[in-house]
Amino acid sequence: MSTLLTVSRVSKAFGGLQALSDISLSVNTSEIFGLIGPNGAGKTTLFNALTGLYSTDSGEVLLHDKRLDNRPPHQVLKAGLARTFQNIRLFAEMTALENVLVGRHARTSSGVIGAVLRLPATRREEADSRERAHALLSRVGIAQHANRLAKNLPYGDQRRLEIARALATEPSLLALDEPAAGMNPAERSALRELLLQLQADGLTLLLIEHDVKLVMGLCTRLAVLDYGVKIAEGTPDVVSRDPKVIAAYLGDEAL
Protein backbone atom coordinates (compact mmCIF):
# COMPACT_ATOMS: atom_id res chain seq x y z
CA MET A 1 0.00 0.00 0.00
CA SER A 2 1.53 3.29 -1.04
CA THR A 3 1.47 6.51 0.90
CA LEU A 4 -0.50 9.32 -0.71
CA LEU A 5 -0.36 12.15 1.81
CA THR A 6 2.47 12.72 4.24
CA VAL A 7 2.18 15.35 6.93
CA SER A 8 5.35 15.77 8.91
CA ARG A 9 5.80 17.92 11.99
CA VAL A 10 3.33 20.62 10.95
CA SER A 11 2.86 23.45 13.45
CA LYS A 12 0.65 26.48 13.42
CA ALA A 13 0.14 29.16 16.06
CA PHE A 14 -2.35 32.00 16.19
CA GLY A 15 -0.70 34.57 18.41
CA GLY A 16 -0.14 32.79 21.69
CA LEU A 17 -2.41 29.86 20.84
CA GLN A 18 -0.58 26.80 19.54
CA ALA A 19 -3.33 25.44 17.29
CA LEU A 20 -1.22 22.62 15.84
CA SER A 21 1.99 21.30 17.30
CA ASP A 22 4.22 18.94 15.37
CA ILE A 23 1.44 17.02 13.70
CA SER A 24 2.64 14.08 11.65
CA LEU A 25 0.51 11.53 9.87
CA SER A 26 0.35 9.67 6.61
CA VAL A 27 -2.62 8.63 4.54
CA ASN A 28 -2.41 5.62 2.23
CA THR A 29 -3.94 5.36 -1.21
CA SER A 30 -7.58 4.25 -1.26
CA GLU A 31 -8.13 4.33 2.45
CA ILE A 32 -10.61 6.33 4.48
CA PHE A 33 -8.58 8.12 7.08
CA GLY A 34 -10.46 9.68 9.98
CA LEU A 35 -9.48 12.74 11.93
CA ILE A 36 -11.27 13.01 15.24
CA GLY A 37 -10.96 14.91 18.47
CA PRO A 38 -12.98 17.10 20.83
CA ASN A 39 -14.15 20.56 19.77
CA GLY A 40 -11.27 22.97 19.33
CA ALA A 41 -8.74 20.17 18.95
CA GLY A 42 -7.41 21.65 15.72
CA LYS A 43 -8.99 19.36 13.13
CA THR A 44 -10.33 22.11 10.91
CA THR A 45 -7.14 24.11 11.42
CA LEU A 46 -5.19 21.15 10.09
CA PHE A 47 -7.56 20.93 7.12
CA ASN A 48 -7.08 24.62 6.41
CA ALA A 49 -3.32 24.24 6.66
CA LEU A 50 -3.37 21.26 4.30
CA THR A 51 -5.54 22.99 1.70
CA GLY A 52 -3.66 26.27 1.61
CA LEU A 53 -6.18 28.44 3.43
CA TYR A 54 -3.72 28.83 6.31
CA SER A 55 0.02 29.14 6.09
CA THR A 56 2.00 26.82 8.35
CA ASP A 57 4.75 27.88 10.74
CA SER A 58 6.86 24.79 10.20
CA GLY A 59 6.66 21.27 8.88
CA GLU A 60 5.99 19.72 5.51
CA VAL A 61 2.95 18.47 3.62
CA LEU A 62 3.55 16.13 0.69
CA LEU A 63 1.00 14.77 -1.76
CA HIS A 64 2.50 12.41 -4.33
CA ASP A 65 5.91 13.77 -3.25
CA LYS A 66 4.74 17.29 -4.10
CA ARG A 67 5.07 20.01 -1.46
CA LEU A 68 1.69 21.50 -0.58
CA ASP A 69 2.38 23.55 2.51
CA ASN A 70 2.21 27.31 2.09
CA ARG A 71 0.94 27.01 -1.48
CA PRO A 72 -2.14 29.01 -2.52
CA PRO A 73 -5.41 27.02 -2.38
CA HIS A 74 -5.85 26.73 -6.14
CA GLN A 75 -2.43 25.11 -6.50
CA VAL A 76 -3.16 22.66 -3.70
CA LEU A 77 -6.33 21.73 -5.50
CA LYS A 78 -4.57 21.34 -8.81
CA ALA A 79 -2.07 19.01 -7.14
CA GLY A 80 -5.01 16.75 -6.31
CA LEU A 81 -6.33 17.67 -2.87
CA ALA A 82 -9.96 18.82 -2.85
CA ARG A 83 -12.06 19.63 0.18
CA THR A 84 -15.50 20.41 1.51
CA PHE A 85 -16.35 22.75 4.36
CA GLN A 86 -17.83 22.22 7.79
CA ASN A 87 -20.31 25.04 7.29
CA ILE A 88 -21.39 24.41 3.71
CA ARG A 89 -19.82 26.88 1.30
CA LEU A 90 -21.64 26.58 -1.99
CA PHE A 91 -22.02 29.31 -4.58
CA ALA A 92 -25.51 30.07 -3.34
CA GLU A 93 -26.82 31.98 -6.34
CA MET A 94 -25.58 29.53 -8.92
CA THR A 95 -27.46 26.42 -9.93
CA ALA A 96 -26.33 23.01 -8.75
CA LEU A 97 -25.00 22.28 -12.22
CA GLU A 98 -23.04 25.53 -12.31
CA ASN A 99 -21.53 24.79 -8.92
CA VAL A 100 -20.15 21.53 -10.28
CA LEU A 101 -19.01 23.28 -13.45
CA VAL A 102 -16.97 25.68 -11.34
CA GLY A 103 -15.28 22.58 -9.99
CA ARG A 104 -14.07 21.86 -13.53
CA HIS A 105 -12.23 25.17 -13.63
CA ALA A 106 -8.87 23.81 -12.56
CA ARG A 107 -9.00 20.97 -15.10
CA THR A 108 -9.99 23.14 -18.05
CA SER A 109 -8.09 25.91 -19.72
CA SER A 110 -10.16 27.98 -22.14
CA GLY A 111 -9.69 31.71 -21.72
CA VAL A 112 -11.32 34.94 -22.80
CA ILE A 113 -10.54 34.59 -26.51
CA GLY A 114 -11.82 31.03 -26.60
CA ALA A 115 -15.00 32.01 -24.78
CA VAL A 116 -15.74 35.05 -26.93
CA LEU A 117 -15.06 33.36 -30.26
CA ARG A 118 -16.42 30.03 -29.02
CA LEU A 119 -13.51 28.22 -30.58
CA PRO A 120 -13.90 24.50 -31.30
CA ALA A 121 -11.58 23.58 -28.43
CA THR A 122 -13.63 25.67 -26.01
CA ARG A 123 -16.87 24.13 -27.20
CA ARG A 124 -15.49 20.63 -26.81
CA GLU A 125 -14.21 21.45 -23.35
CA GLU A 126 -17.54 22.99 -22.32
CA ALA A 127 -19.53 20.01 -23.61
CA ASP A 128 -17.20 17.62 -21.81
CA SER A 129 -17.49 19.63 -18.57
CA ARG A 130 -21.27 19.62 -18.77
CA GLU A 131 -21.37 15.91 -19.39
CA ARG A 132 -19.11 15.22 -16.43
CA ALA A 133 -21.06 17.63 -14.21
CA HIS A 134 -24.35 15.90 -14.99
CA ALA A 135 -22.74 12.53 -14.35
CA LEU A 136 -21.42 13.72 -10.98
CA LEU A 137 -24.80 15.09 -9.95
CA SER A 138 -26.30 11.67 -10.71
CA ARG A 139 -23.46 10.01 -8.89
CA VAL A 140 -24.19 11.83 -5.62
CA GLY A 141 -27.91 11.39 -6.25
CA ILE A 142 -29.13 14.92 -6.92
CA ALA A 143 -29.52 14.89 -10.71
CA GLN A 144 -33.08 16.12 -10.31
CA HIS A 145 -31.81 19.40 -8.78
CA ALA A 146 -29.41 20.28 -11.62
CA ASN A 147 -31.10 23.56 -12.48
CA ARG A 148 -32.09 24.67 -9.01
CA LEU A 149 -30.17 27.34 -7.15
CA ALA A 150 -27.77 25.79 -4.69
CA LYS A 151 -29.25 27.76 -1.81
CA ASN A 152 -32.68 26.26 -2.41
CA LEU A 153 -31.56 22.66 -2.11
CA PRO A 154 -32.44 20.67 1.01
CA TYR A 155 -29.65 20.60 3.54
CA GLY A 156 -28.49 17.05 2.94
CA ASP A 157 -28.43 17.64 -0.81
CA GLN A 158 -26.32 20.76 -0.32
CA ARG A 159 -23.72 18.58 1.37
CA ARG A 160 -23.91 16.17 -1.55
CA LEU A 161 -23.55 19.02 -4.00
CA GLU A 162 -20.42 20.16 -2.22
CA ILE A 163 -19.00 16.67 -2.61
CA ALA A 164 -19.93 16.64 -6.31
CA ARG A 165 -18.20 19.98 -6.79
CA ALA A 166 -15.07 18.68 -5.09
CA LEU A 167 -15.17 15.50 -7.18
CA ALA A 168 -15.38 17.56 -10.36
CA THR A 169 -11.84 18.73 -9.68
CA GLU A 170 -10.61 15.14 -10.12
CA PRO A 171 -8.88 14.89 -6.76
CA SER A 172 -6.70 12.02 -5.67
CA LEU A 173 -7.46 12.89 -2.06
CA LEU A 174 -10.81 14.26 -0.93
CA ALA A 175 -10.91 15.97 2.46
CA LEU A 176 -14.37 16.13 4.02
CA ASP A 177 -14.95 18.40 7.01
CA GLU A 178 -17.85 16.92 8.99
CA PRO A 179 -19.89 15.79 6.00
CA ALA A 180 -22.58 14.25 8.20
CA ALA A 181 -23.12 17.28 10.42
CA GLY A 182 -26.79 18.12 10.75
CA MET A 183 -27.94 15.11 8.75
CA ASN A 184 -30.76 12.83 9.85
CA PRO A 185 -30.12 9.06 10.19
CA ALA A 186 -31.43 8.27 6.70
CA GLU A 187 -29.20 10.92 5.13
CA ARG A 188 -26.27 9.65 7.17
CA SER A 189 -26.55 6.10 5.96
CA ALA A 190 -26.93 7.33 2.38
CA LEU A 191 -23.78 9.40 2.84
CA ARG A 192 -21.99 6.39 4.24
CA GLU A 193 -22.88 4.41 1.14
CA LEU A 194 -21.64 7.20 -1.07
CA LEU A 195 -18.30 7.47 0.72
CA LEU A 196 -17.78 3.71 0.55
CA GLN A 197 -18.52 3.79 -3.18
CA LEU A 198 -16.01 6.56 -3.69
CA GLN A 199 -13.42 4.53 -1.82
CA ALA A 200 -14.23 1.49 -3.91
CA ASP A 201 -13.56 3.59 -7.00
CA GLY A 202 -10.05 4.25 -5.79
CA LEU A 203 -10.47 7.64 -4.17
CA THR A 204 -8.69 8.36 -0.91
CA LEU A 205 -10.71 10.13 1.75
CA LEU A 206 -9.65 12.21 4.70
CA LEU A 207 -12.58 12.66 7.03
CA ILE A 208 -13.24 14.89 9.99
CA GLU A 209 -16.31 13.61 11.79
CA HIS A 210 -17.95 13.90 15.16
CA ASP A 211 -20.30 10.99 14.72
CA VAL A 212 -18.20 8.26 16.38
CA LYS A 213 -20.36 5.45 15.07
CA LEU A 214 -19.94 6.65 11.51
CA VAL A 215 -16.20 7.11 11.90
CA MET A 216 -15.59 3.77 13.55
CA GLY A 217 -17.60 1.94 10.92
CA LEU A 218 -16.13 3.73 7.94
CA CYS A 219 -12.49 4.53 8.56
CA THR A 220 -9.60 2.19 7.99
CA ARG A 221 -7.39 4.25 10.26
CA LEU A 222 -7.80 7.22 12.57
CA ALA A 223 -5.76 9.99 14.09
CA VAL A 224 -6.93 11.72 17.24
CA LEU A 225 -6.12 15.36 17.94
CA ASP A 226 -6.44 17.12 21.28
CA TYR A 227 -5.36 20.71 21.90
CA GLY A 228 -3.38 20.72 18.66
CA VAL A 229 -1.43 17.57 19.51
CA LYS A 230 -1.85 14.17 17.91
CA ILE A 231 -2.50 11.85 20.83
CA ALA A 232 -3.21 8.61 18.98
CA GLU A 233 -3.18 6.98 15.57
CA GLY A 234 -4.22 3.55 14.37
CA THR A 235 -7.16 1.36 13.48
CA PRO A 236 -10.53 2.29 15.02
CA ASP A 237 -10.24 -0.68 17.38
CA VAL A 238 -6.88 0.36 18.78
CA VAL A 239 -7.74 4.03 18.99
CA SER A 240 -11.02 3.50 20.80
CA ARG A 241 -9.23 1.60 23.57
CA ASP A 242 -6.42 4.13 23.93
CA PRO A 243 -6.56 5.61 27.45
CA LYS A 244 -5.40 9.02 26.19
CA VAL A 245 -8.27 9.15 23.72
CA ILE A 246 -10.79 8.15 26.36
CA ALA A 247 -9.41 10.80 28.67
CA ALA A 248 -9.61 13.47 25.98
CA TYR A 249 -13.23 12.66 25.23
CA LEU A 250 -14.56 11.80 28.65
CA GLY A 251 -12.17 13.51 31.06
CA ASP A 252 -9.46 11.98 33.25
CA GLU A 253 -11.93 10.76 35.85
CA ALA A 254 -13.35 8.25 33.41
CA LEU A 255 -10.21 6.17 33.65
User: Residues interacting with other proteins, by CB under 8 A?
Assistant: 51-53, 72-74, 77-78, 82-83, 85, 89-95, 98, 101-108, 110-112, 114-118, 122, 125-126, 129, 149, 151-152, 165-166, 169
- Shorter beta-carbon distance to other proteins: residue 77 or 248: 77
In the complex with other proteins, which residue's Cβ is closer, 112 or 255?
112
**Smallest gap from residue 22 Cβ to other proteins (A):** 25
Contact (Cβ atoms closer than 8 angstroms) between residue 173 and residue 4:
yes
Q: Are 41 and 30 in contact (CB under 8 A)?
A: no
- Which is nearer to other proteins, 182 or 243 (by Cβ)? 182
Nearer to other proteins, 117 or 186 (CB): 117
- Please state the closest distance from residue 118 (CB atom) to other proteins, in A: 7
Whichever of 83 and 139 has its CB closer to other proteins, that residue is 83
Alpha-carbon distance of 75 to 71, in angstroms, equals 6
Candidates 208, 239, 242, 211; CA nearest to 34 is 208
Q: How far is the CB of 14 from other proteins (least distance, A)?
A: 17
- The strand pairing partners of 229, in sequence order, are 226
Q: For the CB of residue 79, give the shortest distance to other proteins in the complex, in Å.
A: 10
CB of 253 to other proteins, least distance (A): 40
